[in-house]
Amino acid sequence: METLELYTFSKSSATYRVRIALNYKGIDYQPHYIDLTKGKGENFEAKYMSINTQGFVPTLVNGDNALQQSIAILEYLEEKHPTPAMLPINLEDRAYVRAITNMIACDIHPLNNLRVLHYIENDLGLEVKQKLEWYRHWIREGFSALENFLLRNKKYGQYCLGDAPSLADACLVPQVYNAYRYQCDMDDYPTIRGINEHCQALVSFRNAAPEKQQDFVR
């Protein structure tokens, strides 16, 4: 029987996505905690860099295979453990779900992740107030586009696609969590907020939250 190992950090939204999928699919895993805030980050120490060449989390290890990049890991889990499904059968619906995952993982998250925030504060000398405005600006840009996408396509129900969670929800929930964490104004995104609330009703999503992890520090 395979033993999956997940290199994780509680507040990493990329790792949060993978924890959601593992929980929802009922897949057991052994967590290894990588502190991105300790010193220059444990993720950039040689020991971890030998596992993940980018020095990012998450890494999912299965035997001799170390998988990196959260979306690739989500797709891997879906293909290896297709039940319960987090991708629909219909090809157009699959493209819709993947569009949402990419809107979040490619267009919103990279501009607001920890290394970018550290760079604009420590290297470019932006003040905390300016850093927060940067963060909130890209949330507004990204969530406005996503809200309109959901409304235009009319495929959402309780979740991004109908009434069953998908990979889109696994990506959305961590980004909403971070938006609240950085006190972003969410009033203009009722569809996103509603989907997030339905996701929070699921134990698999709640147990993946940062504060539920052993390494969580406020």
Contact 15, 58 (CB under 8 A): yes
Q: Please tell me whether residues 15 and 51 are part of one structural domain.
A: yes
pLDDT tier at 1, thresholds 50, 70, 90: low
Report pTM.
0.96
Find the CATH number of the domain harbouring 76.
3.40.30.10
Q: Please tell me whether residues 108 and 194 are part of one structural domain.
A: yes
pLDDT tier at 115, thresholds 50, 70, 90: confident
Whether 215 is covered by a domain: the verdict is no
Q: What is the pLDDT of residues 193-212, one digit of tens each?
A: 999 999 999 999 999 999 99
Q: Please tell me whether residues 36 and 100 are part of one structural domain.
A: no
Q: Please tell me whether residues 142 and 76 are part of one structural domain.
A: no
Q: What is the pLDDT of residues 120-151, one digit of tens each?
A: 888 888 888 998 999 999 999 999 999 999 99
Whether 188 is covered by a domain: the verdict is yes
Whether 212 is covered by a domain: the verdict is no
Domain region containing 28? 4-84
Average pLDDT (88-94) is: 97
Q: Please tell me whether residues 38 and 14 are part of one structural domain.
A: yes
Whether 198 is covered by a domain: the verdict is yes
Dihedral pair phi/psi, residue 118, rounded to 5°: -65, -40
Dihedral pair phi/psi, residue 110, rounded to 5°: -60, -30
Q: Please tell me whether residues 12 and 66 are part of one structural domain.
A: yes
Residue at which a domain ends, from 30, 58, 84: 84
Number of neighbours of residue 84 by Cβ within 10 angstroms = 11
User: In this structure, what token pair is assigned to residue 191?
Assistant: 């569809």
Whether 109 is covered by a domain: the verdict is yes
Instruction: Give me the chain's average pLDDT, please.
Output: 95
Q: Please tell me whether residues 51 and 97 are part of one structural domain.
A: no
Q: What is the pLDDT of residues 5-57, one digit of tens each?
A: 999 999 999 999 999 999 999 999 999 999 998 878 899 999 999 999 999 99
Residue at which a domain ends, from 32, 58, 84: 84
Whether 213 is covered by a domain: the verdict is no
In whole angstroms, give the CA distance from residue 95 to residue 97: 5
Q: Please tell me whether residues 106 and 186 are part of one structural domain.
A: yes
Find the CATH number of the domain harbouring 122.
1.20.1050.10
Domain count, the chain: 2
Contact 193, 199 (CB under 8 A): no
Q: Please tell me whether residues 103 and 168 are part of one structural domain.
A: yes
